Structure 1
Amino acid sequence: MADGCALDTEKYSLLEDFNVDVEVEKQEFETFSLCFWVYLLDSTTYPSTIIRQVHSDMSFSAPFLVLDENKKMILLPLTLLHKEAPDPVNTASWTEVPNVSTTAEFPLQRWVHVGCEVSRNYMRLYICGKKVGEKVLTSVMTNGTNSDNVRRVSLFSVGGDGYSVQGFIHCAQVLPSTVHVNNHYTKDPPLWLSVEKPSTCEVDEDGVWSIVGEKASCGMIFSLDVVLSNAIGQPVRKDVQVVASLLYANSGTPVEKTSDLEAPLLVSYDGVEFSAEDKPCTLLNGCASLKLKISQHYSKCDKRLFCIKFEIPNNGSYPFLEAFTNQMRCISRTGGDSVTPKRLSPLVEGVPSRNGASDSSLSMKRIKLGEEKIPESEFEGGNGTSMEWGPQNQDEEEEEEEEEEEDQSSTDSDNTEVRGSMGSRRYTISDSTIFKYCLGNLTERSLIMKEITNNAGDEEVSEFADQVSLYSGCSHHGYQIKMARKLIAEGTNAWILISRNYQNVHWDNVVIEIEEHFMRIANCSSRSLTHQVLLSFPYIKSFDLVFDDATLRREIVAQDFELLRRICGCYDYITQENFEKMWCWLFPVATSISRGLINGMWRSCSPKWIEGFVTKEEAEHSLQSQEPGTFILRFPTSRSWPHPDAGSLVVTYVGRDFVIRHRLLAVDHICDSSERYTDAKPLQDMLLAEPELSRLGR
């Protein structure tokens, strides 16, 4: 690896090697902050002491920072400064002294920033730049203390009690009172290698990725995005190499090549396949989309679970510079028994009321959380304004559109009777096309829609949407199909205006056009996208600016465009392919905002109901240490057209057990923004009526 591509790993050290001294009687350290990034391994046991304290008058060390039996971090008083400090000899007193504690479990296998601010009269605990607690204490030092008699306290780690805490520490510093904890948090975050789920796979209930191929004789081909970012989610603009290898999921051992067979895992460059272990992949500006293939011999093992490991070579054994996929299962569409798509019950045209009458006006107000499919039975006895939570063990970001059927052998003649009642058409879309769309991945669906919109009229497209909704059992597919013509047409026109016949366009030239198109489609002129840098904290995503009393114009800071840039997969220059990836996410979001139930919430200045362009990780970070019931609304970055949930909202909230959860908020049958909702409860009221949701996060 070239020197310019090497990573600086000197700032990473084992937690057990941590040791700093603080001269607490110096004026500049009367108030000090111990700040560091810590990465705890999953072998950590509880309770354990992370950092201990000792000074010259102590025979034994005492705890300073611990993890209790509930995996919560606790900051204890300093023996040299506070009367309430724990007795080093009496271990029972450690749990009785005043302390500052987190409310949520401390996470493992990820970087977390910890800040311990200590003064003579108080102490504060910060997690990832946010204060989680404060405790007023009694000082043991007097104002007449001789400053020449400098006293020093040592803070150190020995790997926990009995070396039970194992991990890494990064950039540990003792800061004077003049430097805030947030300065350390944003200054030099550690690195983190991650891999994103491929769009061409299904996710089973147990979290296993199902890699679906046309036939086992070709092996299983798929793409994975590998990203090197820092711990606060910002991309790292470094060109580094990663090596991919195929592992057995149950044991974690590498899959070895046998006899003369081809390598278990192959990587493709310009159509030429190489052994993944022999051909390192280059991350340009910290990211790359890799085309991989599990070889034919191994992909035939339908019941065998694999995973793929990515690592940065020649940089030591650092778990945060390694990334693993979920467990993977290879499935061939033609490998199983034939499955004939069964006829589903007709689409619901109106929602039955309690007295049995059909009221089509209620369908626009049906709101559902956490699940994608909406069976007809769920409408029975509904009042049209209720909300339902999905299963608590399912995460919105981990769900895929629906279980894929394993056969596409049904022909038009097999289904003539099913579709005979639909009548004649000017342009016929075959049954095989309908079923191919139902069973296809996002790329295949996108290609089908481009072909149909080029040849069919609006009536045929609408009918195709109804048929796909019918046979897939998911009405959300219909929304994406019906918006396809406008999405493709406006995206094509936008790119023509942006590119002006150039293949590569500088990102700064794209920003203005994106902003104008977004505001027009969203039907909202009072909240725009801007590239002004208003705040220095990377997790603060929006800020209220009052331009005048009439508009209360609100701006979204530069991180919104950074998120769009990440979705594009580009940096300084954007290609048409990059633009289309971004457009397929942005257009459904803007379309949802334009509709009546959401438009007002998006416009709202105070309170700010919809966070907008934030990632799942950023949303979780903003809710850390918040009370149960605190929630925010956001648009999921993993849902792009033609995914059935593209443009939907996600509720990220703190559960009763302080665990942060994500639930999809699917607003069905939303009418255009021009229609009135005189008989509907506001979406805000319905959210706050849910027992799991009590207050909006800030």
Structure 2
Amino acid sequence: MGIPEPGSYMPLKDLKMEIKDVEGRGANGGFTLSFWLYLNCATPLPSTVLLQKHPDNAFSAPFLILDEWNGIMLFPLFFLHQEASSPSNALCWKPIPSASNKSRFPLMKWVHIDCEISQVSLRLHIDGEIVGERQLLTSSPINSGSHSDVSEMVSHCCIQGNDGGLQGYVYGVELFSQLSSIQNHSLKDSPLQLSIDSSSACEIDEGVDGVWNIVGGKASCRKKFSLDVMLLDALGRPVNKEVEVAATLVYADTITPVEKSSDAEAPLLTMYDGVESASAERPSKLIQGRASFKLKISQLSSKCSNRLFRIKFDVQKMGRYPFLEAFSMPIRCVSRNRPARSSSVTWRKSPPSIHSFNRPQSPGLDAGSSDVLYNIIHEAKQSPSSKRIKLGQERSLPVLMDGCMLKEANLDSKSHARTTTNEDNAAACTNGVLERADSHDDEVEDFSSDSENSEAADSVPCKFSAHIGPISDLVIFRYCIGGLSERCLLLKEIALAYEEEALCSFSEQVSLFTGCTHHRRQILISKRLIDIGIKCWNLISKNSQNVLWEDLVSELQDHFMTLTFCRTRCLTKQDFEVLRRVAGCQDTTVSQENFEKMWCWLYPVAFTLSQKQINPLWSSLSPKWIEGFITKEEAESSLQQEGPGGGLMPPGTFILRFPISRSWPHPDAGTLLVTYVGTDYTIHHRILSHDYAYSTKEMMDRPIQEMLLDEPELSRLGRSVRRQ
């Protein structure tokens, strides 16, 4: 018993402090008691938090209590104050003057308390602010002795925690002279607490009764859901500690672990790299104060007498404390064939790169939204082009050594025409990254490079019955080893047959087994790409096999402006000429095959331009950060100086463009490229990674234009020269 060591926690009942230990205490006996308090659960009120005792008296009196309304009260001290309790009124504290706060004292939360005691007043501080103060009626102590005698008698008093059933913990307990700064003591050190980030909840149905309805049971039926937990200090700041958080399924009423299902499967499963494991065997590491969980429940409430569950998260290596545990809302685990409750609300966090087209037209996505992640290059996995990736051995592709947000891109327009296995999968997003193309002079933009899509783009499959459950391993394998045309056909069928949840899982599996996360973006946008493309073609063609180019232009213009949320800029004649060449149109008519080839290039571009960070680049007219749809040859020509001397523009001159030869489902379709003059007076092409650019809050507040100009290789925006 005593005062907890710095950085450690102590049960409230074990706390004991002697006032004589206060350094610098004045002759008047004044001091301040400072500590963090965590009350675990409600108790019958009123309830004493701290008691004061004196060795010369056989009785104790309250020092700090919770009243019947859960307010907190600070009482006078023995011998120092005439109004303090005496043996005759030790059990009756209501008539005793006190410094009190009538607001309800929070439970299950760390609160900083300062009890400031002087001979003439009491002050109660909560979280650094005075919430109660009481001037005492007299400054004369009960004992009529000198001030030194008073100080001596007060020094024998002790304050200790109540062991009468109030469950709580204390942290950072200090006794110091009243001259010290209370504010500094409340800020210099704070305890930790584990909590669930409710904004991270994904694929959870919450009923009107607050119960989460989650689909579980057999492997073929159960549904994956996501939750994040955060380790925060008492001031709400993330704490970066190298610890692991474990998840356990418990009964909501008894907090005891749920038994295994009838087939001896763990009741709670966690997903890592597409592999299911018992959650108890795979805790999640904290990264920047946050641990993410993808979970499934194998046990049904109906198999457990219809009892409700909770998910318990805890940090076991830091000790078993209630504040290092976090519990979900009560969960009712139901089978998939159980009808959904009409009164429930589904928590869905948009999976990465899924675009919402039912939002109002605006210059970009909703301000402040963090639900949509825009992956261009930052999450690419690095792997040898001729070797398969072993599970668990993939390495994240690093950003440039100097931490830049630009990455070298291999723009060989024929690189995706090969049909080898992993070399196909990662050619554009691994081999060329951080490498300069072998010969920029020999590279020519090839508008026929999408010709291998012709077989895949003959027609969109008509109707598929909706499938329930995950996509089979065989389909995943076929997609991973297939060429671009086979992937295109396969992805069309999958997108029309499955819901977005299955596509999200499918994208994770493909990214894992190919070693390239760029595939994720193309898979996730596939459903809307196809759905909107079909509607667009039906609207333009009016059931005709061919349409006039002029008729297509006007309708396509409206669709593009709607998709990009930009009504201030439309496509130019030169832009449509590029689209025409991408589509492979030889005359004034456009077939469905031509339209699909063009749409597979245009939709990923529109998706990129709709993003909050990129949209201002497209909307800007002075200067034009993105001139329009320009070819690689036009970009390189624009970086040449005019006049008889020729030569390149000064190093650092750059132009933003989209790769013309990259069409969906190529991993780099719709990515934004930077073509610039390097310090070696050669032209480089790099992929813009705005995932990296907006990886911190400080960077989120800066426009991407500023960050581009902060890049060491970039200094000024060039002007594109368009072919007439």
Tell me the TM-score normalised to structure 2 length: 0.48
Tell me the TM-score normalised to structure 1 length: 0.49
